[in-house]
Chain A
């Protein structure tokens, strides 16, 4: 294996594995879930820290957790995410780009996300899986932070373009199994966070700390609108549409998530009104 330090985005080849905090790429590599022997350390070329409404893609969740400039929804999403050590180590971009916790995927099964023909969760054990957009792949997106940024209407700046956070994600389809839209070698540099009048993050998880969202609800009120985004309910962070939870398509083993989501969405709205 080779580990090089990048001095510019040009050092990144299309087959490079990017190393920042390493909290995803190192375990996935060691478990043989991703392949590659060329690691590129990008910590030197990706902005860190927080400057006004711009957060460096390399900023750690632990920094965001305690910065009063950060909107409440994002701070709370960070605070309730992962474990303290992972918040110290993991970068913002890494958190947005993390893979699903679907146990079939994490055990290396050749499911649809890997180009295979089946979604083993749909027919199998799916209690922690998606209740929206789960027809083809029932994986749930595990990022609290992504839901918060989606509700905030964040914009992303890469080394090639700008895009909304929503545009970073796509529901996997038969012809394209990816859940993110970054091009090979494209580097996320900054996250631009619009201000919010009020915002809140509520999370339902299986133990009191250090667990992925069963349902996470990010609610943001701006002068223009109220936006609600959910974590843990779809293969991508899920912006709640007009029909809200009526559009949910739970599987036999995860209908309880709809109930929890309904309660948390209600409470989030009430918190915005309070």
Chain B
């Protein structure tokens, strides 16, 4: 029974109020605990295809007559085109069409960041297209770029008004404090570098268009392309069967999709437009740099009285200003909080969502400062977190489910190891343990729809136009359907990846897929099951096994449908966790080893523990990357990006991976949908950097203040700590010495 409601929808920390048509969520949750299929480890249903190299990604797609596009992108951080000549490109062999500034919205002549698209050519081969792009004649007027985010704030070059959030009386809170600490923390620009670059193949078919694209949001692409091309959405088909990673960077159609669409229209041929790895490091989005100037006030027992921060998000030329202040606002029960967040516009490539945008950066700053506070007060860091635990949200709403205290409790045996870890320190290699709390979203929301088709052989197909971006969500859907229907897992097929072949599914971002799609799939399976039960009752055999009942169908089928119901009203749906890191630091060379990370996360009911542990490991490893080695560098004068290749931009290798011990609380969130499951894609990356930084403090007394913790930063912090130590010793020294 459909009804219209007004509800809050959250993705990547951004809330919007929407009107939605929802189905009633009438199913009761399963009782806590692993079941026959849900809660049991399951191998990926598409694992074999991927492992064998048989999966066709957009990068592998060849359509008949397909042409290849190459794009001319601005090499300058800020420039305008005085003159451009496409004729030399069009004259080259194999070239079919070329487009220049203004011909489509995505091709510009006012360039405000390096990498913005200016012109595009399509040709029979990629090599011909690239040669043609190189032949385009351009006269540039190079302009002075704005590169400094603080300068941008000073000049008022902001995306929108500064975001001021607060509660209580911040000044009063500071006045009440026994100790006030401040700190400035900086995080660098980090790039997604998914292994499959951004790309699309677009073909005009009849009066509509087919878009094959490496994406996290099939339906979003459909709507965006429809709007951009002036087509009714149902005339746009979007296909993504396999995609090679996104991490937040592939939520939109970007320029390459529209470039391909335009060139396809002009030539009447399918056109593939794929970013090269260099372009991927320029024009595919990034986790923006931040500058965080933070203040904490506390009583001498560690009770927080005030938290304050000025956050500068150096978003680039456009994008949005993510909630770097989120952890400070939401994690702890501090009555007086005041934050101001600026979205600084600089002439650099625009940010995009990257696995818990804002919260990764903000957790680093906040948890580092709190750890410093603990150290200063002589309070155990884990105790400090527990002391300031928040029973409700800042505006007195309950949480739909919060197991953070249980996470802290389960962290204790890992935390206990710190004595033994420290004891293994030597003169040159110091060892220590640090921890950090995790808070993030992950409740998903409506709409999402699924169909479940049951055939006479007792096999079922889940049909929904969702995308599995590598997280294993497709497998989780199969498990849910199998569990609800009471049939073996290998009797369930999942048909996904095609907007022509299934109903609307949520974006795979913001840890949304499992909590949004899962309940819809369960509802659809339950609907099918109810129909089968009805047939059984009519037959007079209400207890007959499903297989026996459906065998009556012959060519007939049972079609179940389900939809995602609303989120619980008046509650906040969040995920929580804690990570404990063990590190070693070479105090002479600044080398850091992350030896071990224990990760304990509360994400409600876990559908697939095997896939879940992979998500945790993946998030932590990306965390290690932005903590120790990943940084986009640019020339300080011209703004030109210097780290556009994977030798210069350093992702973690297998040799950089710590021992990872992961534990999931796995208690259903009893207020959330018919599953009680939240998303797990982002929580694991949130606290890793902070835990490592805090472990470094435990090992060496050094306060690292920036990410990544380069050798230079580590040595700086070590020397500063040594200096502080010598000052302390001097002060303690008897007079006259």
A and B touch in the complex (CB under 8 A): yes
The segment out of B316-324, B515-523, B629-637 that lies at the interface is B629-637
| A contact residues around B643 at 8 Å (CB) | 103
Known A208-B655, A211-B650, A214-B711: A260·B644 in contact at CB below 8 Å? no
Compute how far the CA of A101 lies from the CA of B628 in the bound complex, rounded to whole angstroms.
20
Asked whether any CB of chain A lies closer than 8 Å to the CB of B166, the reply is no
Chain A proximity of B349: nearest CB distance (Å): 16
Chain A residue with Cβ nearest B642: A103
Whether the pair B591, A207 counts as a contact (CB closer than 8 A) is: no
Residues of A within 8 A of B644 (CB): 107
1/0 contact string of B269-283 vs chain A (CB within 8 Å): 000000000000000
- List, in ascending order, chain A residues with CB within 8 A of B589's CB: 204, 259-260, 263-264
Bound-state Cα–Cα, A214 to B650, Å: 13
What is the bound-complex CA distance between A125 and B638, given in angstroms?
11
A124 touches B653 (CB 8 A): no
A208 touches B648 (CB 8 A): no
* Complex CA distance for A263 and B715, rounded to whole angstroms: 12
Q: Is the CB of B656 within 8 A of A259?
A: no
Contact of A256 among B636, B652, B654, B715 (CB under 8 A): B715
* A120:B635 contact, CB within 8 angstroms: yes
Kindly list chain B residues whose C-beta atoms are within 8 Å of the C-beta of A207. 628-629, 650, 652-653, 655-656
B725 at the interface (CB under 8 A from A): no
Indicate whether A127 sits within 8 Å of B712 (C-beta atoms), given known contacts A107-B642, A204-B591, A207-B653: yes
User: Is A124 touching B637 in the complex (CB atoms < 8 A)?
Assistant: yes
A159 to B: closest C-beta gap in Å: 32
A2 partner residues in chain B, CB cutoff 8 A: none
Q: What residues of A have a CB within 8 angstroms of the CB of B654 in the complex?
A: 209
A103 and B653 within 8 A (CB): no
Residues in A neighbouring B716, C-beta threshold 8 A: 256
Q: A249 to B633: give the CA distance in the assembly, Å.
A: 23
Whether the pair B642, A212 counts as a contact (CB closer than 8 A) is: no
Residue-wise interface mask of A (92-104) relative to B, using a CB-CB cutoff of 8 A (1 in contact, 0 not) = 0000000001011
Q: Does B49 contact A (CB under 8 A)?
A: no
Instruction: Let me know if B640 and A107 touch, CB within 8 A.
Output: yes
Instruction: List which A140-159 residues lie within 8 A (CB) of chain B.
Output: none
Could you say which residues of chain A place their CB within 8 Å of the CB of B655?
207-210
Q: Is A183 an interface residue (CB 8 A)?
A: no
Residues of B within 8 A of A123 (CB): 637
Q: Which of A120, A207, A263 lies at the interface centre, i.e. has the most chain B CB atoms within 10 A of its CB?
A: A207
Indicate if A4 sits at the interface (CB-CB under 8 A).
no
Count A/B pairs, Cβ under 8 Å.
71
* Contact string against A for B residues 659-700, beta-carbon threshold 8 Å, 1 for contact and 0 otherwise: 000000000000000000000000000000000000000000
* Chain A contact residues, majority secondary structure: loop
Q: Does B645 contact A (CB under 8 A)?
A: yes
Q: Which residue of chain A has the shortest Cβ distance to B647 in the bound complex?
A: A101
Question: What is the bound-complex CA distance between A101 and B629, given in angstroms?
Answer: 17
Q: Decide if B635 touches A263 in the complex (CB within 8 Å).
A: no
How many angstroms between the C-alpha atoms of A107 and B591 in the bound complex? 29
- Note all chain B residues with C-beta closer than 8 A to A212: 647
Interface pair B648/A259, CB less than 8 Å apart? no
Taking A103-B648, A207-B652, A256-B712 as contacts, is the C-beta distance between A263 and B588 under 8 angstroms? Answer: yes
Instruction: List which B555-601 residues lie within 8 A (CB) of chain A.
Output: 588-591
CB nearest neighbor in B for A108:
B75
A246 to B711, CA, bound (A): 21
What residues on A are CB-neighbors of B710 within 8 Å? 127, 206
- Docked complex: A197-224 residues within 8 A CB-CB of B: 204, 206-212, 214
Q: Indicate if A106 sits at the interface (CB-CB under 8 A).
A: yes
A121: shortest Cβ distance to chain B, in Å?
9
Which chain A positions have C-beta within 8 A of B637?
Answer: 123-124
Return A252 CB to nearest CB of chain B, in Å.
Answer: 11
How many angstroms between the C-alpha atoms of A256 and B714 in the bound complex? 10
Q: Which of chain A's residues have a CB closer than 8 A to the CB of B588? A: 259-260, 263
Q: Which of A124, A206, A209, A259 has the most CB of B within 10 A?
A: A206
| Bound-state Cα–Cα, A35 to B36, Å | 64
Nearest-neighbour CB distance to chain A for B114, whole angstroms, equals 11
Instruction: Give the contacting residue for A209; candidates B134, B645, B653, B711; CB below 8 A.
Output: B653
Question: Which residues of chain A are within 8 angstroms of B711 by Cβ–Cβ distance?
Answer: 204, 206, 214, 256, 260
What CA separation (Å) do A148 and B678 show in the bound complex? 54
CA A212 – CA B634 in complex, angstroms?
Answer: 19
- The chain A residue with its CB closest to the CB of B593 is A208
Q: When the two chains form their complex, are residues A124 and B647 in contact, meaning their CB atoms are under 8 A apart?
A: no
Instruction: List CB contacts (< 8 Å) of A218-274 with chain B.
Output: 253, 256, 259-260, 263-264
Q: Is the CB of B653 within 8 A of A208?
A: yes
Roughly how many angstroms separate A104 CA and B635 CA in the complex, as a whole number?
A: 9
Picked from B634, B652, B656, the residue with its CB within 8 Å of the CB of A125 is B634
Q: Which residues of A contact B653 (CB under 8 A)?
A: 207-210
Nearest-CB distance from A230 to chain B (Å)?
Answer: 14
Chain A: CB-nearest residue to B588: A263
Residues on the B chain within 8 Å of A206, using CB? 629, 650, 710-711
Contact of A208 among B633, B636, B640, B656 (CB under 8 A): B656
Q: Is the Cβ of A104 less than 8 Å from the Cβ of B715?
A: no
Q: Mark A105-117, 1 if CB is under 8 A from B, else 0.
A: 0110000000000
Is A101 within 8 A of B648, CB to CB? yes
Separation in Å of the A16 CB from the closest CB of chain B?
23
Residues of A within 8 A of B715 (CB): 256, 259-260
Residues of B with C-beta under 8 A to A103 = 633, 642-643, 648
Q: How far is the CB of B474 from chain A (nearest CB, A)?
A: 32
Contact string against A for B residues 11-30, beta-carbon threshold 8 Å, 1 for contact and 0 otherwise:
00000000000000000000
Q: How far is it, in angstroms, between the C-alpha of A212 and the C-alpha of B645 when the chains are bound? A: 14
Give the shortest distance, in Å, between A106 (CB) and chain B (any CB). 7
Cβ distance B650 to chain A, nearest Cβ, rounded Å: 5
Which residues 62-107 in B have Cβ within 8 Å of A in the complex? none
A66 to B590: give the CA distance in the assembly, Å: 29
A148 to B648, CA, bound (A): 23
Mask: chain B, 690-730; 1 = CB below 8 Å from A; 0 = not: 00000000000000000000111001100000000000000
The winner among A103, A120, A209 for most chain B CB atoms within 10 A is: A103
Q: How near does chain B come to A85, taking the closest CB pair, in angstroms?
A: 12
Task: Kindly provide the distance from the CB of B92 to the nearest chain A CB, expressed in whole angstroms.
Answer: 16
CB distance from A251 to the nearest CB of B (A): 12
* A104–B650 CA distance with the chains assembled, in angstroms: 17
**Whole-angstrom distance from the CB of A259 to the nearest CB of chain B?**
6
Q: A204-B591, A214-B711, A259-B715 are in contact. Are A125 and B633 (CB under 8 A)?
A: yes
Residue among B637, B652, B655, B711 with the most chain A CB within 10 A?
Answer: B711
Residues of B within 8 A of A211 (CB): 650
The residue in A101, A204, A210 that gathers the most chain B C-beta atoms within 10 A of its C-beta is A210
Assuming the contacts A204-B589, A208-B653, A208-B655, asked whether A125 and B645 have C-beta atoms less than 8 A apart, the reply is: no
Task: Provide the bound-state CA to CA distance between A104 and B640, in Å.
Answer: 10
Q: Give Cα distance in the complex from A204 to B588, angstroms.
A: 11
Write out the residue numbers on chain B whose beta carbons fall within 8 Å of the beta carbon of A209: 653-656
A208 to chain B, nearest CB (A): 4
Shortest CB distance B455–A (Å)? 47
Cβ contacts under 8 Å, A106 to chain B: 645, 648
Distance of A204 Cα from B710 Cα, bound (Å): 12
Which residues of the partner chain A approach B645 to less than 8 Å between Cβ atoms?
106
Give CA–CA (A120, B637) in the complex, Å: 10
Task: Give the chain B neighbours of A210 by CB distance below 8 A.
Answer: 653, 655
B637 nearest in chain A by CB position: A124
Known: A256-B716, A260-B590. 8 other contacts (CB 8 A): A120-B635, A125-B634, A204-B591, A206-B710, A209-B656, A256-B711, A256-B712, A263-B589
Q: List 19 A-B contacts (CB under 8 A).
A: A103-B633, A103-B643, A107-B640, A120-B635, A124-B636, A125-B635, A204-B591, A206-B629, A206-B650, A206-B710, A206-B711, A207-B656, A208-B653, A209-B653, A209-B656, A214-B711, A256-B716, A260-B715, A264-B589
Binding site for A on B (CB under 8 A): 134, 588-591, 628-629, 633-637, 640, 642-645, 647-648, 650, 652-656, 710-712, 715-716
Instruction: For the complex of A and B, list the 8 residue pairs with the smallest distance between their C-beta atoms, beginning with the closest.
Output: A263-B588, A208-B655, A209-B655, A103-B642, A256-B712, A124-B635, A207-B629, A208-B656
